[in-house]
Structure 1
Amino acid sequence: MTMRLAVAYDVSDDTNRRHVYRTLQRYGAWRQYSVFELEISKTDRVELEAELESHIDPSAGDRIRIYRLCSACQDATTDIGNDPPDGQSNVI
């Protein structure tokens, strides 16, 4: 069984931010500059969280927030403006 997640991150160091971006890219789709949507299993989520934690520095103010999106929430999602990006971000 899989779950849909929205992941937002704020990472100060360029190298750490790049690692977080690349980690999330392996699991899901980039939606906005610091936001990904993922469709993953419970096991993958545990692995993802451990890997993300290794790429941030909380003492520098780094944060990652993971939201689980229920089916009703997914159906109620609205995009305003441009379509989500298909290509690479401007991650350094």
Structure 2
Amino acid sequence: MVTLTGEVTTRELRSRLSDVLGRAMYAGERIGVTRNGKLAAVVISVTDLEVLEELEMAHDVAAYREAKATDDGTRVTLDQLRADLDS
């Protein structure tokens, strides 16, 4: 698994934004942005984002297919759902 290749603080990011973007875009680096010592965000390439979105879509499709395959046909009304949630 690929992890962060670098970190910058939010203050550093302000002055080094062009460099950080270049590293993400061209070198494929994943750069963590910290705020008050805690990881707040990660700068990644568009390619990495597209891969993540494809994985998310594949997961959603698999979950849909599983739900459809195990659907027993039972349905509830909105009122029944609300009553069950209030219980």
TM-score (norm 2): 0.23
Higher helix share: 2
Is the radius of gyration larger for structure 1 or structure 2? 2
Higher relative contact order (CA 8 A, sep 6+): 1
Higher strand share: 1
